[in-house]
Copies of this chain bind each other. A is one copy, B any other.
Amino acid sequence: MSEQENNASKAEVEQLTEKVEEVILDAEGKPLSKKALKKLEKEREKEQKKQERLAREAAERAAREANEVDYAVDNYGVAKLNMSQQKSSTKWTEVKDLGESLVGQTVHIQARLHTSRAVGAKMCFLVLRESTSTAQAVVSVDKDSISKQMVKFIASLPSESIVSIVATVTKPAEPIKSCTVGDAELQISKLFVTSEVKTMLPFSLEDASRSEADVEKDPSLNRVNLDTRLNNRVIDLRTTTNNAIFKIQAAVSQLFREFLEKQSFTEIHTPKIIGTASEGGSNVFKVTYFKQDAFLAQSPQLYKQACIAADFGRVYEIAPVFRAEDSNTHRHLTEYIGLDLECAFREHYHEVMYMIGDMFVYIFKNLEERWAHELEIVRKQYPSEKIKFDEKPLRLEYKDAVALLRKAGEEIGDFDDFSTPQEKLLGRLVKQEYDTDFYMLDKFPLAVRPFYTMPDPENPQYSNSYDFFLRGEEIMSGAQRVHDADFLRQRIESFGIDTESLKDYIKAFEYGCPPHAGGGVGLERVVMFYLGVGNIRRTSLFPRDPKRLEP
């Protein structure tokens, strides 16, 4: 950045804007109406006059108050709009990389002004924030390069402005507990505003970053409720907590892939617009596809199996899935990210089930090791304990779970599906008995699973299917699939589904298909239960539910 060329010349911007408009009208060949042009012009003039007035007033005020020459004019101000005017060889430092090892060095940093606090007229403390990291900075008047005007300018900047600074790294007298960088402080020598905040924030980042416990302790503090957050999601996402949550979300996908790629899985991309509402037909969104109707895929189930029939062997997909369910709960979204996998096996579906178990263990272990910084940040706002799990995850059979529930006083039939409260109770019982937050439940009743589930060979009231549970809630559902076309047709008919609507699916198996099993994980659910943040909307960037389509 050129520090000589800041304090954007209004005339320059105006000239440029005019040139731009001319070009567009010429090039598009369809100029705006004279009326529209005039209106535009007027609005622009108005805005420009306002800007000029504000700048003039600010300058006058500064001069009046200072009543002296500002020897620091070249060291601060609002930078010109960055249109990539120039390149320099400046080395930029990230806030997260600050630390004792840089003491004595001059650094260039671009970051958010998180908060500022003036101490008299000569000094101001700032907290700078970049993603999940914060650091303290100080600017104080000296007689050569930092004027009172400069300190005043900096102290009056609104929070969330983006600033570019030049500073010297010093070692603080005591570790700075309020920042993630505790062992370094910045002595600012130059500061320019890269991007201004132009309207009042809907809530402060400090308020948005408090834990529920803190708010409950001190009723004078503002609680930012979930709807306000989601309506202003771009601001809400800026908290270090939210930046960390979405780094952890990305980490879960990354670890899912890392594990599966080591196991020779191939990533696939299956279509989301489908011609027939498969898998039963309810809960699908309808799409107008040119002159016909189409639907949004509820899962990649049929297509990932088709890839097995096409000899892909082991496949996975990370993609949105769409559910037109009118469920307004803490754990339902109408659009979420499915982590799906499907795997041919040689002998027994347990080859696949145990591999999925190992995969989760890999994810959990690596999260705690490689994303410790992010986990620590999230746990400050949403306290949760590390999950407990065994290196070889616990496997229970459905009938054992029924027995556990009955022992605890629940009334439940041998082949009944569990209710959500029963699942949670089961989680607690398993934790008491086996000291684990993570386990696999195998051999579900056939009647509660989809038509493509392979029955158990010993007792066909059960099936070769499994769910995985984390903190008492289901995070993955899977099974061995029926890979024989004739048997599949029978199973589909027994569900009362028209085999015609699934003809492409069935056809895939008529040309031979290896035995296979797989499963699907809801990414937002895994992150939600792992972090214990209580609502799935907190782990979706821009959540969609029956009542929310925006932002």
Contacts and interface: CB of A to CB of B under 8 A. Distances in A.
Contact of A269 (B199, B247, B523): B523
Interface in A49-95: 81-88, 90, 92
A544 B238 CA distance: 37
Interface stretch (A148-156, A282-290, A388-396): A282-290
A457 interface: yes
A160 to B, nearest CB: 5
Q: Report which residue of A274, A309, A541 has the largest number of chain B beta carbons within 10 angstroms of its beta carbon.
A: A541
29 contacts: A21-B494, A24-B494, A27-B446, A40-B494, A82-B347, A83-B480, A84-B348, A86-B348, A87-B350, A112-B512, A162-B512, A162-B513, A164-B346, A196-B512, A233-B310, A237-B307, A246-B268, A269-B337, A269-B541, A271-B541, A272-B272, A273-B296, A273-B335, A275-B549, A286-B287, A289-B324, A307-B541, A320-B320, A504-B550
Given A81-B487, A319-B319, 11 more contacts: A24-B447, A130-B313, A195-B484, A197-B511, A246-B266, A273-B322, A275-B549, A275-B550, A285-B287, A287-B287, A306-B551
Interface of A: 1, 16-17, 19-21, 23-28, 30, 32, 40, 44, 47, 81-88, 90, 92, 108, 110, 112, 129-131, 160-162, 164, 194-199, 201, 233-235, 237-238, 242-243, 246-247, 249-250, 253-254, 257, 261, 266-276, 285-290, 292, 294, 296, 303, 306-307, 309-313, 318-320, 322, 324, 326, 334-335, 337, 346-350, 415, 445-448, 454-457, 460-461, 464, 480, 483-487, 490-491, 493-496, 504, 507-508, 510-515, 523, 540-542, 544, 546, 549-551
Nearest to A13: B487
A20 to B, nearest CB: 5
B160 A234 contact: no
B20 A415 contact: no
B512 A160 contact: yes
Contacts of A21: 490, 494
Q: Report which residue of A195, A235, A275, A485 has the largest number of chain B beta carbons within 10 angstroms of its beta carbon.
A: A195
A86 to B, nearest CB: 7
Q: Report which residue of A269, A445, A542 has the largest number of chain B beta carbons within 10 angstroms of its beta carbon.
A: A269
A461 B235 CA distance: 34
B23 A446 contact: yes
B266 A487 contact: no
B131 A238 contact: no
B250 A268 contact: yes
A340 B209 CA distance: 30
Contacts of A464: 83-84
B455 A294 contact: no
Nearest to A514: B162
B234 A88 contact: no
B83 A446 contact: no
B292 A541 contact: no
Nearest to A162: B512
Q: Report which residue of A312, A334, A337 has the largest number of chain B beta carbons within 10 angstroms of its beta carbon.
A: A312
A430 to B, nearest CB: 24
Given A83-B454, A267-B254, A310-B238, A493 B160 contact: no
A290 B40 contact: no
A205 B347 CA distance: 27
A163 to B, nearest CB: 9
Contacts of A199: 510-511
B484 A23 contact: no
Contacts of A44: 490
Contact of A310 (B28, B234, B250): B234
Contact of A84 (B28, B161, B350): B350
Given A290-B324, A460-B20, A82 B515 contact: yes
Nearest to A297: B320
Contacts of A197: 510-512
